[in-house]
Structure 1
């Protein structure tokens, strides 16, 4: 008979988490490496005291904003290939509800993070207690129920003994490559501090195998037949390639078949930019090379992609005659686009598909088509010449454009650097232009495209990869959303490099607003003019001074030459460093080539202003080309 150990619920949970491990391909890792927290009355005497009692067994990081703490944990999990993550604890009330955006981001992107919000009293000694939401028709509802729709698993621990099955289910979901995302265990503050005799079995080390399911033979045979019949195949690499560490298997498949490889935002870097098969980003923010190939493809092979509207150009990119083959570990995604499903781990599926294509037996062996390869090689060379042109800065004394900032950074970094971004006009420029050198250099959160993600995510990446230069690229709009974790970077001594591009407003949405008849309304950071519109002088906001006030070393760069020097200094720095530059706006928003494919943003069907009427005519013309697979 197993013995027991008396601990509080919070102490038991922290101790349990210290002995949970993942294992894949023979490599073992601790699952939860640290806890981020901000303490209030809902968790200070529970989880807070338990972390103190555990000492160094469970490291603690002090955050400044609850949403940012989730972003940091997500950045850590992504850098660790979803095999390791962090937990986040908050008090009840506003601390807990501040988790919602971060939880949604984690779940949308299939990235594991454990959320441990405090909750109101389970025993209800007084109603209401401080920060309690009173719901007249449901006595068991709290603000934490806001986390249900954005969590892949949710439980409220109202009795100590309920922790055992809930904790096991939480770890099951965190380590499931299909189901993973945000996992929430809501912890009433009285239950956190309650003692209970826990079975010793609960604290024995557990290893959770991260599965690599192989494809079904029938589905594999259908996939092989489809590839052999294709004359213009195109691979679309999604985030599943990187989560599976399937980059080598993808390279082997591309070289064996001659199929070009385009990438979603999450999949960019699956092949390095200079591999002959890599044709860059695809979709609305893709390259002309990839999008032209998509328009003439007869077989589109999606590997680990969710087929979002940016990837498919809102259903207008691929021809109606194209067939789809979807290699995906998640059946939900594997059946999209009316495609042939190949439900498997990305690496296992690619390896099986490559072997089967060249196995002896009936049917022809698949061979690359030299003419097709020559076609996309020429188109790729043409696109790279366009990249060189927008990266070039012939006048080093001029203020840089946004693309020239990227060009200066591109000339500096190696495969060791990690570049983080999430929102604004930068994701489009990076997807089109960035020359990714290693599988995890390109860290774009575009599933949720959450402004404010970049700086806290950089902390998580820096903790996961302490010897690598980590860059957070932010516009002024994004910076103002969530700069508070700069203080954490300073406190922890994490030498992240933050590049702030000052363009006086929401440049991306400003450009979009112009194209859909919104005339840039409400997107510029300017004083009001006499007519009340925000068209006056730019605001006298000094973001560099703000970053310096939070403890950052700040380098101001007014010209291209100063920018190059500042970036090199930041890369070599061993303290948190910010490079600040005000960008020059050319004829387009950023200087990058315009969108190579459509994105469906509905335009007003009736309007009095000429811009909106003209935009509606263009919208109806583009919308007419959309088609949906049956």
Structure 2
């Protein structure tokens, strides 16, 4: 048997450079690049191996370990889960900093490969620098914190153990029903240890990404359910995008006239101007979609995991006889809501369902007219929210979105994850292409937007990519601006400065907590945070990290700044201080409830009143059995 003598780290990098996915006849490289921050736990192993393999494995220098994972996740989502990045860190804080990113990847069912260094397998000195000592278990390290947020975890304590572990890692990364964060913990001594590797380990390996077909009986039952439904509704989730099922969904909706509402992950499954698109659903959804949900007698979930925002904390689907049917590639998600389970690839199942109905079924014309009228009315509300207002006044947040709405085309991609923007975007944004809307709302992680936008831009070179961030999110994780500048990525970033956690401030007020601890202000004489706004200058901070910054003080300035940023060929920031009162324009309020428990006993009147409202709403909760 032919062998090649390499260190474990060298062998791993050589192996990763030769892994591919293939779906629908298209082959893609599985690991497009490796991000890294080096310390004593990986510099002499993975670091040295990447240096030797620059021609085969592109390297990207990161600044924050969590952010590197976010960038890899953004790349993976834009690549429809067919390609991703690896991320390597040292043992200790570098490794544990990845836990949040790993959780985000796994929650969202997005592949990312994590390669943290680990303590010595041979234990020549104990403890070594950054080693966690666990008195009851000698084989535990801080990397074990990654176990519950990884879909696959292994610690490579011998060089030869890498072969089965690497193959299992690739299996999970490429399995659409199993994918998420995959962790291979690499003891620093094992990384540098040499071994005679079989040449077969380094041959090109293609991992087919299959489209499992629906069970014939389940498909027949679903077709019958569609035929018998009076008020059917489709809920499109992120699985529609992962499967590239947008055209199949468009064909099915067009043939049947069934309206399509979308989750945060599924928004854009139909373009906003499609007659059957009724917008976002749930707590941050449109009035049209939510009213249809309340009266639906059949709800078909396609690629959704039915989060509490989508179901309005189990209060949205109110018809006593409502039935559910789930098309999902994972049995775990397909069996939620106690409905008909169709475990299958979304595109294939929709194509088969369309064929099974044979063009002989359409919803009642009165039902189609009802949701068409509702859609038209909602568009009028969006127009009002986007209303331009006084061009020389400070813009509101919704006017910022309105200004961007007039500028973008289907080429633009918007990234957001946290704060009040996800709600406004879900309700208001008019999605023009299948991949324009990128809101991470499975983990809703502050600090995701900037690094994820870098990953998206790497996967979609030449397209305008916008990171929309509030001041709270910006302060969490601005470090990868340096990476965007270093890599000449023309990131477009919009910072909305409203001096605090505006979204949580509103929620705090609603639940009787009186916006406690949510404003970025000096302490007042009574020691509350109600003094003057803090004199921070985030625009200056972004400029200090290398971005070109355009300050927009008025709505007129904003329009010009956004246009300039869109055409820029370097990383550019538009900084705008928004009007927090939002008296000129604003999105409609929540169209459905969200369960955030309120204090059952309290001395302050605001909390007592909030609890009364909570008890009134909570009685509508329902388990669908």
Question: 2: CA distance between counterparts of 1:55 and 1:501?
Answer: 39
- Shift in Å at residue 587 of structure 1? 5.3
Question: 2: CA distance between counterparts of 1:578 and 1:321?
Answer: 51
Q: What corresponds to 1:341 in structure 2?
A: 341
CA contact (8 A) 1:34 1:60 kept: yes
Q: What corresponds to 1:323 in structure 2?
A: 323
Q: What corresponds to 1:30 in structure 2?
A: 29
Q: What corresponds to 1:599 in structure 2?
A: 594
Q: What corresponds to 2:447 in structure 1?
A: 452
Q: What corresponds to 1:476 in structure 2?
A: 471
Question: 1: CA distance between counterparts of 2:613 and 2:579?
Answer: 29
Q: Deviations over 1:566-616 (max 9, x none)?
A: 000000000000000000023589821100000000000000000000000
CA contact (8 A) 1:425 1:590 kept: no
What does 1:179-578 align with in structure 2 at a 5 Å threshold? 179-319=178-318, 320-358=320-358, 365-578=360-573
With normalisation by structure 2, the TM-score equals 0.99
Q: Deviations over 1:184-228 (max 9, x none)?
A: 000000000000000011011110001100000111111111111
CA contact (8 A) 2:397 2:582 kept: no
**1:618 aligned to 2:617?**
no
CA contact (8 A) 2:385 2:585 kept: no
Measured on the aligned residues, the alpha-carbon RMSD in Å equals 0.9
SS across alignment from 1:318? coil
CA contact (8 A) 1:422 1:454 kept: yes
Relative to structure 1, the CA distance from residue 589 to residue 64 in structure 2 (aligned partners, 3 Å threshold; closer, same or farther) is farther
- Shift in Å at residue 348 of structure 1? 0.6
Q: Deviations over 1:259-308 (max 9, x none)?
A: 00000000000000000000000000000000010011000000000000
Question: 1: CA distance between counterparts of 2:168 and 2:8?
Answer: 16
Q: What corresponds to 2:48 in structure 1?
A: 49
- Shift in Å at residue 102 of structure 1? 0.2
Relative to structure 1, the CA distance from residue 262 to residue 186 in structure 2 (aligned partners, 3 Å threshold; closer, same or farther) is same
CA contact (8 A) 1:262 1:279 kept: yes
- Shift in Å at residue 55 of structure 1? 2.1
CA contact (8 A) 1:256 1:368 kept: no
Question: Which deviates more from structure 2 when the two are superposed, residues 582-591 or residues 400-409?
Answer: 582-591
Question: 1: CA distance between counterparts of 2:210 and 2:30?
Answer: 15
Q: What corresponds to 1:61 in structure 2?
A: 60
Q: Deviations over 1:379-416 (max 9, x none)?
A: 10000000000101221001000000000000000000
Question: 1: CA distance between counterparts of 2:493 and 2:55?
Answer: 30
Q: What corresponds to 2:603 in structure 1?
A: 608
Question: 1: CA distance between counterparts of 2:167 and 2:113?
Answer: 12
Q: Deviations over 1:222-247 (max 9, x none)?
A: 11111111010000000000000000
SS across alignment from 1:629? coil
Question: 1: CA distance between counterparts of 2:55 and 2:411?
Answer: 30
Question: 2: CA distance between counterparts of 1:181 and 1:55?
Answer: 26
- Shift in Å at residue 367 of structure 1? 2.4
SS across alignment from 2:166? helix
- Shift in Å at residue 442 of structure 1? 0.2
**1:118 aligned to 2:113?**
no
Relative to structure 1, the CA distance from residue 546 to residue 590 in structure 2 (aligned partners, 3 Å threshold; closer, same or farther) is farther
CA contact (8 A) 1:507 1:589 kept: no
- Shift in Å at residue 56 of structure 1? 1.7
CA contact (8 A) 2:396 2:584 kept: no
CA contact (8 A) 1:67 1:98 kept: yes
Question: Which deviates more from structure 2 when the two are superposed, residues 316-325 or residues 152-161?
Answer: 316-325
With normalisation by structure 1, the TM-score equals 0.98
CA contact (8 A) 2:258 2:362 kept: no
SS across alignment from 2:53? helix
Question: Which deviates more from structure 2 when the two are superposed, residues 544-553 or residues 313-322?
Answer: 313-322
Question: 1: CA distance between counterparts of 2:257 and 2:233?
Answer: 9
Question: 1: CA distance between counterparts of 2:61 and 2:126?
Answer: 31
CA contact (8 A) 1:511 1:589 kept: no
Question: 1: CA distance between counterparts of 2:586 and 2:148?
Answer: 39
Question: 1: CA distance between counterparts of 2:53 and 2:210?
Answer: 31
Q: What corresponds to 1:81 in structure 2?
A: 80
Aligned length in residues: 624
CA contact (8 A) 2:173 2:180 kept: yes
SS across alignment from 2:54? helix
CA contact (8 A) 1:423 1:451 kept: yes
For structure 2, the residue ranges without an aligned partner over 5 or more in a row are none
SS across alignment from 1:466? coil
Question: 1: CA distance between counterparts of 2:559 and 2:66?
Answer: 33
Q: What corresponds to 1:6 in structure 2?
A: 5
Question: Which deviates more from structure 2 when the two are superposed, residues 608-617 or residues 49-58?
Answer: 49-58
Question: Which deviates more from structure 2 when the two are superposed, residues 419-428 or residues 581-590?
Answer: 581-590
CA contact (8 A) 2:46 2:88 kept: yes
CA contact (8 A) 2:389 2:584 kept: no
For structure 1, the residue ranges without an aligned partner over 5 or more in a row are 360-364
SS across alignment from 1:118? strand
